[in-house]
Structure 1
Amino acid sequence: MTTAMIVEDSRLARVELKNLLLQHHDITLLGEYEEPDMAIQAIEQQQPEVLFLDIQLPGKNGFELLDALSYQPAVIFTTAYDHYAVRSFEYDALDYLLKPIEPARLAQALQRVQHRRDNTAPANSKLEANSSVFVKDGEQCWMLELSRVVHFTSVGNYTEVHFDGHRPLIHKSLNQLEARLPEQLFFRANRQQIINIKKIASIDLTIAGNLELVLCDASNVEVSRRHSARFKQLLSL
């Protein structure tokens, strides 16, 4: 089964899409939302595999909603306008469906979802501390040993990889990376950053009592209250 969520401010459009999805028995709808902030909270908590996302929404547009997420679902845009199409694929969208959505086009989009699942499953395996990974940013490419990474930092819908003075952007969320990174080497310090514990140069306390780490590249990373206790437990004798 594939889990899905709808974010659409038009009640009629939500009903029509929901009825179309009912014809696909391998799709489980986790919820439907018309307000972006409520949708962001639900997406982060329930982590649907597929997000059917309108672009023109009240308060935030669809692109701004994606930029606010740390979790990255597969995205199928649903809109009445075709002039957003080029920008939509900057967000690695699986498809771009124009309203009113035709059943055949929806079926085609869902086939793309299944194709991505089939082709990315092997890549979701756990990495080892001595693993090397391929990183591409524009025209630059690296075969990067994980041990060289100082930290990963969330930047909108991307993640910045810090190593050897380089900061390439990859189109992966921190949640996706965290699931694959070796726990003996990497630690989720806060909502925005994962650090290499071997790259910690010093540890201090902030005025608020939180831990502040200085990494070998002089980056300052504050460990959130939520993660401080686990950090102390992990590194204590």
Structure 2
Amino acid sequence: MTSEAASLRAYLVDDELLAIERLQRMLAAFPEIEIAGTATDPAEAVATLNDSHSKPIDVLFLDIQMPGLNGFELLSRLNVQPFVIFTTAYDQHALRAFETNAIDYLLKPIEPEQLKRALHKLGRLRPVVKPDWQQNPALPQLLQELTASLREGHTTYPNRIASRVGERISFLPLDDVTHFIAQDKLTFAVVAGRRHCVDQTIVDLERRLDPAKFLRVHRSVLVNVDWIHEVNSWFAGKVVLTLKDVQHTQLTVARDRVRTLKDRLGI
């Protein structure tokens, strides 16, 4: 960020306390960011942000899927619209989110490089954006539409995946896939220890599949959490998963993914 963008006041809203704590730790690496407050209750966040005695914030890190008020409803109740960086495990609202005052869209679990990119983008825009940009008269209607869409719609995820071998295409039930692994520029779905080539990258699969079921534990590995049998901590902080398959497959967890894995498994 430029010096002009120094001392940005940020407010964090997410109904998961662990997600807020993780984001706080990541933001600590950016001295230009001052965390003005956090909230796990969206209604509490609205009250705080609308308090006329409170100093305005510069950027709002906001989850979309929350009980009570979702992220779009929260925005619709703010007296002044701040810059927004959405943080969520679901990407189906990404394009519409950019039509609001969103600076960026960070898919959970947030990667350090994603966060750095978003903050740099904020640093570029903030000094030059006109004040009335944040008071778009069409914004309230858009937020109402987004809220209605979020409440009425139900995210659907595929229950099988295609595997191609030459001209032959077979379909694999995702419940049977223990994990996906990327190797030699190819991606494989593993079923009963056997690898099946799929036409999607690990990144594509992470965004397409149910995030409650499939978790990325390494840049080249996406695991089906239902198949995890054991989590073993080895020397030097190394964490290894053992799966329930016949082969008792072991998968190494990247250091920056350990916390997310433990949060997901509740350990």
Note if 1:18 corresponds to 2:24.
yes
Note if 1:108 corresponds to 2:114.
no
The code of the aligned residue for 1:53 comes to: L
Q: Please, what TM-score do these two structures have when normalized by structure 2?
A: 0.46
Note if 1:66 corresponds to 2:75.
yes
| Conserved? CA contact 2:81–2:101, under 8 Å | no
1:41 matched residue in structure 2: 47
3-state DSSP class of the match of 1:104? helix
Q: CA deviation at 1:93?
A: 0.7
CA distance in 1, matches of 2:139, 2:80: 14
Structure 2 residue corresponding to 1:82, chosen from 69, 91, 115: 91
**Structure-2 change in CA distance of 1:104 and 1:36 (3 Å):** same
Q: CA deviation at 1:41?
A: 1.2
| Conserved? CA contact 2:81–2:135, under 8 Å | no
CA distance in 1, matches of 2:128, 2:21: 31
Q: CA deviation at 1:90?
A: 2.1
Q: Any stretches of 5+ residues in structure 1 without a counterpart?
A: 125-132, 136-156, 161-168, 172-237
The number of equivalent residue pairs is 131
CA distance in 2, matches of 1:73, 1:118: 14
Structure 1 residue corresponding to 2:63, chosen from 48, 51, 54: 54
CA distance in 2, matches of 1:52, 1:9: 12
CA distance in 2, matches of 1:29, 1:86: 27
CA distance in 1, matches of 2:20, 2:79: 25
Note if 1:7 corresponds to 2:13.
yes
Note if 1:29 corresponds to 2:38.
no
Q: CA deviation at 1:158?
A: 5.2
CA deviation vs aligned residue, 1:138-194 (integer Å, no higher than 9, x gap): xxxxxxxxxxxxxxxxxxx8554xxxxxxxx478xxxxxxxxxxxxxxxxxxxxxxx
1:152 matched residue in structure 2: none
3-state DSSP class of the match of 1:58? coil
1:92 matched residue in structure 2: 101
Percent of aligned positions that are identical: 42
Give RMSD over aligned pairs: 2.2
Alignment of 1:1-237 (within 5 A): 1-45=7-51, 46=54, 47-120=56-129, 123=130, 160=137, 169=138
| Conserved? CA contact 2:65–2:71, under 8 Å | yes
Q: CA deviation at 1:52?
A: 0.2
Q: CA deviation at 1:44?
A: 1.9
| Conserved? CA contact 2:82–2:101, under 8 Å | no
| Conserved? CA contact 1:34–1:57, under 8 Å | no
CA distance in 2, matches of 1:67, 1:114: 24
3-state DSSP class of the match of 1:94? strand
Q: CA deviation at 1:118?
A: 2.4
Q: Any stretches of 5+ residues in structure 2 without a counterpart?
A: 1-6, 141-267
Structure 1 consecutive aligned stretches of length 4 or more whose deviation exceeds 6 Å: none
CA distance in 1, matches of 2:111, 2:118: 11
Q: Please, what TM-score do these two structures have when normalized by structure 1?
A: 0.52
